[in-house]
Amino acid sequence: MPAISFEFFPPKTDEQRTQLDKTAKELKALKPEYVSVTFGAGGSTLSYTSETVARLHQQHGLDVAPHLSCMGGTRKEIAELLDTYRAAGYKRIVALRGDLPSGMATPGDFRYAAELVRFIRQHSGDHFHVEVAAYPEMHPQAEDVQADLRHFKAKIDAGANGAITQYFFNADAYFCFVDDVRRMGVTVPIVPGIMPISNYAQLKRFSDACGAEIPRWIAKRMQAYYDDADSIRAMGAEVVAQLCRRLLEGGAPALHFYTLNRAKATRAVLEQLH
């Protein structure tokens, strides 16, 4: 089995906490290298992220990687958070710019993720293994692909140890991205982010927001299932497992799953991979 990691978001209600506990227990059995917890830009889920990584680390015995987004944050706030995470014994951080929530006026002390990575290195030295985000289908706000690749390289040059990609369904986008950045001298591991499919309407919404393309042949088949959730899940598991197989055969170093705090769809993909 390849090295795998799972991404969760911070639950906000007791019901969601119970759901995450159940999911964490089930997915722990699949022996992830670590689990990561997302961060809301502008500090909106700041306390929930810390609370959630603590819960996954202490109650579930998992290695954790809090996401840290700099948008809206000050140097002082981020330094304090880094110190807290270090004191708690965490060794990994996923460093991001994040997006400014609508209505929030100040972007904070950092403009781009590369500046955050540089700050983490200045403040915490080599303590943290730092992952950054990569976009095989280009970040939606980039001027063009070449500029986006240069900005990605700047994050690695600032001291990141590796990258996790935005999800995609076209393996060639990943291979092309890896080839491009290798030619630019980037040598760190680039781990594909994998989105298991369980709910087509939700997937479409996320993909529209983050600029990930759903290939027409997948969209058409999913639409034809309407609300037949079992058929959507079955086809989703097959399509995503096939994608993972191609990625691993083509040299992907590991797989990072966007679980959305549910175990079923991720497990279905991993069972097919076995």
Give the interface with ligand FAD as residue ranges (CB under 6 A).
38-41, 67, 69, 94, 96-99, 112-114, 133, 139, 141-142, 147-148, 151, 155, 164, 166, 193
Residue 48: C-alpha distances to residues 8, 21, 116 (Å) = 12, 15, 21
Q: Which is nearer to ligand FAD, 202 or 223 (CB)?
A: 202
The single-letter code of the amino acid at 200 is Y
Q: How far apart are CA 272 and CA 164, in angstroms?
A: 22
Shortest distance, position 170 Cβ to ligand FAD, whole Å = 16
Q: Which is nearer to ligand FAD, 92 or 233 (CB)?
A: 92
Shortest distance, position 259 Cβ to ligand FAD, whole Å = 13
Q: Exactly one of 7, 26, 131, 271 is catalytic; name it.
A: 7
Q: Which SS3 state, helix, strand or coil, does residue 136 take?
A: coil
Q: Which is nearer to ligand FAD, 39 or 232 (CB)?
A: 39
Is-contact 95 121, C-beta < 8 A? no
Shortest distance, position 203 Cβ to ligand FAD, whole Å = 16
DSSP for 215-254 reads: -HHHHHHHHHTTT-HHHHHHHHHHHHHHHHHHHHHTT--E
Nearest to 81 by CA among 48, 105, 33, 115: 48
Q: Which is nearer to ligand FAD, 27 or 190 (CB)?
A: 190
Shortest distance, position 150 Cβ to ligand FAD, whole Å = 8
Is-contact 162 135, C-beta < 8 A? no
271 is catalytic: no
Nearest to 96 by CA among 6, 24, 176, 165: 165
- Residues with catalytic function: 7
